[in-house]
Copies of this chain bind each other. A is one copy, B any other.
Amino acid sequence: MHLGPLQKVRLHYRPLVANMLKHLSKVRLKPVSSEKEAHSSVKYLFPKTAHQVSCRLVQEEREACSALKVGVFFSGGQAAGGHNVIAGLFDALKQIHTHSELVGFLEGPIGVLENRRKILGEDAIAPYRNQGGFDLIGSGRLKIETKEQFAKALQNTQDLDGIVVIGGDDSNTNAALMAEFFAAHGSKTKVVGVPKTIDGDLRSEDIEMSFGFDSACKTYAELIGNIAKDALSAKKYYHFIKLMGRSASHITLECALQTQPNLALIGEERKSLAEIVDEIVDLVKKRKEAGKEYGVILVPEGLIEFIPEIEQLIQELNQLLAKSEPISHLTPASAAIFADLPEKIQKQLTMQRDSHGNVQVSMIETELLLIEKVKKKCPHLQVVQHFLGYEGRSCLPSNFDANYSYALGLFSALCIRDQLTGVIGSIQHLRGSVDAWHFKAVPISRLMHFEMRQGKEKPVIQKTLVDMNQSSYIEFSRKRVSWQLQDQYISPGPIQFFGDPELTDSVPVTL
């Protein structure tokens, strides 16, 4: 473990902890009596766990508790704050009982199936406090979702009082199914989820925000701001900046509000390819008339999924590919769209397959597609293409993410202590000081809706998209007009950890 000077200093940061979480023997989780019953499909699919209602953390002295043995693993892509979930979980377990134990499963869900473990004591955890990445125990994308896998997981976690799953929408869906399976098989092992994803799409009435979103957006905004300053100084390039974030455009919206680019595309506006291209061409022409041959355009990674004609084309391609039929069998409308795409995009649509044999949407260079289309109408445009993604997932967590993820870790321990399972940690009023935060354990099944997949009704946590009625989108719509021709770029600069709390402790604009 090699640490730079800033990393070393950050080891000693003490996350701000709500008073309520300081003395764990004086609080307990109590059911929210007013909550209505779960939907009948939920009760049908989660017979053992769906009777649960959400529980709030309340002040109430409780009897001493015996030592707990808890497991934890990461699932999916990195998000800043992951190590603080572990640190919080560990610190809470030790406060609950000095003989409590924490074990990490290595490299994500596969570590559970293969029972590969690492004992997480203070010595192991100390060098990772407030650090980025998931490297203490690693992560992975395998999913625990079949009966056989659940059985294996049950077998390998028998000695545990609980297991904490740090993951996104899919991982938490599977955590709920695992909790149900464990309960149905009489296991004492509780399953608790923690909302993690930089994408910001794991959001609902109960989940205000996942951890990692703030640090990732701040890092991207730093870079977008630097690029915008550069564009404004050199005055010769259009910078097309694609941003990670999967389907939803939350990251793009947040970064747009932080940096005020000339244009930020939002997938959820569901514009046609022609409309998007025209919008950019129009921007370029108007700016040229104003003597400005440069600009900054943000493109969400998921944009392409929302373009109706491309969506249709991808569906048809998936069907043809499944039947090994040639591309000439596309409908005339889709064939025309396909023929009009740049060669490289055509290749990306037909050559790369995901594990189900489908078009790999995330591999399509949407920003290149737009560039090529725009260049046909503006041949002299000088363009620089960027993709910001990996740069922001494993950065040092911002104070907000460090505090938030640490609290999620502490709270997960309480969920297990108080015998809840199939729940996710929900912290509300995140805009306020930590003492204003409300802590709730929400049955994951209550976040679900049902989708027909391969003829079966499947429960899933729906990804939350940018809502055209959310206040941050309305603010964006109002402001963006003036960003087009006037250059109102903001360069937020790098995340600061010391100094004025206005700088160090800011929260996302879209929170």
Contact A491 to B7, CB < 8 A, known contacts A2-B260, A135-B233, A226-B132? yes
Are B502 and A499 in contact, with the CB atoms below 8 A?
A: no
Find A502's partner among B5, B229, B396 (CB 8 Å cutoff): B5
Are B135 and A229 in contact, with the CB atoms below 8 A?
A: yes
Chain B residues with CB under 8 Å of A234's CB are 77-78, 134, 138-140
Are B78 and A395 in contact, with the CB atoms below 8 A?
A: no
Chain B residues with CB under 8 Å of A494's CB are 6, 219, 222, 395-396, 494-496
Is A481's CB within 8 Å of the partner chain B? Answer: no
Are A493 and B233 in contact, with the CB atoms below 8 A?
A: no
Which of A87-95, A152-160, A385-393 is the interface stretch? Answer: A385-393
Are A233 and B496 in contact, with the CB atoms below 8 A?
A: no
Is A443's CB within 8 Å of the partner chain B? Answer: no
Per the 8 Å Cβ criterion, residues 375-426 of A in contact with B are 384, 386, 390-396
Is A474's CB within 8 Å of the partner chain B? Answer: no
Are B77 and A9 in contact, with the CB atoms below 8 A?
A: no
Per the 8 Å Cβ criterion, residues 181-223 of A in contact with B are 219, 222-223
Is A506's CB within 8 Å of the partner chain B? Answer: yes
Report the Cα distance A218→B395, complex, angstroms. 14
* Binary contact track A228-252/B, C-beta < 8 Å → 1, others 0: 0110111100010000000000000
In this complex, the interface size class of chain A, counting residues with CB under 8 Å from chain B, is 35 or more
Is A498's CB within 8 Å of the partner chain B? Answer: yes
Report the Cα distance A260→B394, complex, angstroms. 16
Are A258 and B390 in contact, with the CB atoms below 8 A?
A: no
Contact A496 to B6, CB < 8 A, known contacts A226-B391, A226-B394, A392-B226? yes
* Binary contact track A330-344/B, C-beta < 8 Å → 1, others 0: 000000000000000
Quick one: copies of this chain in the complex? Answer: 2
A72 to chain B, nearest CB (A): 15
Report the Cα distance A30→B358, complex, angstroms. 74
Contact A390 to B491, CB < 8 A, known contacts A258-B4, A496-B497, A497-B499? no
Are A493 and B7 in contact, with the CB atoms below 8 A?
A: yes
Interface of chain A: mostly helix, strand, loop or mixed: loop
Chain B residues with CB under 8 Å of A493's CB are 4, 6-7, 10, 395-396
Chain B residues with CB under 8 Å of A27's CB are none
Are A4 and B391 in contact, with the CB atoms below 8 A?
A: no
Find A503's partner among B5, B233, B492 (CB 8 Å cutoff): B5
Is A167's CB within 8 Å of the partner chain B? Answer: no
Is A3's CB within 8 Å of the partner chain B? Answer: yes
Are B498 and A498 in contact, with the CB atoms below 8 A?
A: yes
A13 to chain B, nearest CB (A): 11
Is A489's CB within 8 Å of the partner chain B? Answer: yes
Report the Cα distance A7→B221, complex, angstroms. 13
Per the 8 Å Cβ criterion, residues 113-159 of A in contact with B are 131-135, 138-140
Is A227's CB within 8 Å of the partner chain B? Answer: yes
Per the 8 Å Cβ criterion, residues 247-275 of A in contact with B are 258, 260
A368 to chain B, nearest CB (A): 13
Report the Cα distance A499→B226, complex, angstroms. 23
Are B503 and A6 in contact, with the CB atoms below 8 A?
A: yes
Contact A135 to B232, CB < 8 A, known contacts A4-B491, A497-B496, A498-B499? yes
Is A107's CB within 8 Å of the partner chain B? Answer: yes
The 3 closest A-B pairs by CB, nearest first: A494-B494, A498-B499, A133-B229
A133-B229, A134-B233, A498-B498 known, 7 other contacts, Cβ within 8 Å: A4-B258, A7-B493, A133-B230, A133-B233, A223-B223, A227-B390, A230-B390
Query: A residues within 8 Å of B by Cβ?
Result: 2-7, 9-10, 74, 77-78, 107, 131-135, 138-140, 219, 222-223, 225-227, 229-230, 232-235, 239, 258, 260, 384, 386, 390-396, 488-500, 502-503, 506
6 contacts between A and B (CB under 8 A): A4-B225, A77-B234, A78-B229, A78-B230, A78-B233, A222-B494
